[in-house]
Amino acid sequence: MLKYCCRIWDVNLHERPTPTELRPIVPLVFYQGERSWSYSTEFADLFAEGVRAWPWVPRFSHELLDQSGMEPEEVQGDLKARLMQLLLLAAYHPGRLWQELVVELLATLSSLPPEGGMNYIRVFLIYILQTQDREAIELFQEVLQRQTPQLGGDLMTYAQELLAEGRTEGRTEGRAEGRTEGKLRNQVEVIEGMLQEGIAWAVIERVTGVHEAQFESLKQQVEEMNE
């Protein structure tokens, strides 16, 4: 987390070559692990107890939102942030029933004008295909069929196309080797969407199996495909 903050400050320094002060950052960790968070949020606690009080030991801590015991309906935030949290929670806790709430939020999102040049509906649907097993995806499809006629929009048709594509291609494990052109594009699109939502690389890597260096390689491959 400290590394990510330093990267942001480094970018700020490049944007403003002669800054008089650094911008404050509030580090926030969303945790959805199998067990409750049991670690200190203070960076200095990583050092031996006898040296923690030394003035040369960095003082740094982060805020923590432990969602490990949270049910889907308890997740809060604005629309896209809530969707991303729900899908992260579903990826780590697939047994919790998330499908109906996600369908409802996706339908709401589909009724809003696009922003930022990113197709978030596609990003979220591809993410579901990448992180859920066949049974969960089939249940998601059933909920779509049952709810979208009342919720309106073209979400049903669009989701069906992606779900059909996902069933044909199989579940993606996040490795670039041997993937089709379409899978590479989807992988890059999903990760870019997660980055735009402020998801840390540690979470992205665990969910997608792609680390930062691999992502740059994937982006380059996609750019070469577009030439």
Is 151 or 206 the better-scoring residue by pLDDT? Answer: 206
* Rounded alpha-carbon distances, angstroms, from residue 45 to 2, 25, 53, 206: 14, 20, 10, 24
pLDDT at 40: 93
Q: pLDDT over 90 for what percent of the chain? A: 10
Measured in whole angstroms, the distance separating CA 66 from the mean position of its chain's CA atoms is: 16
How does pLDDT run across 13-56, given as a tens digit for each residue?
A: 877 777 778 888 888 888 888 888 999 999 999 999 999 999 99
Reference 127, options 222, 215, 207; nearest CA is 207
Is the pLDDT at 205 greater than 90? The verdict is no
90-105 tens-digit pLDDT: 888 888 888 888 888 8
pLDDT of residue 116: 67
Q: Could you identify the residue written with the tokens 């052109």? A: 181
Per-residue confidence at 174, pLDDT binned at 50, 70, 90?
A: very low
Q: How high is the pLDDT of residue 150? A: 55
The 10s digit of each residue's pLDDT in 63-82 is: 998 988 888 899 888 888 88
Domain boundaries, the chain: 1-69, 78-171, 175-227
Q: Which of 89, 83, 82, 105 is nearest to 155 (CA)?
A: 105
Per-residue pLDDT, 195: 79
Choose among 145, 137, 221: nearest CA to 183. Answer: 221
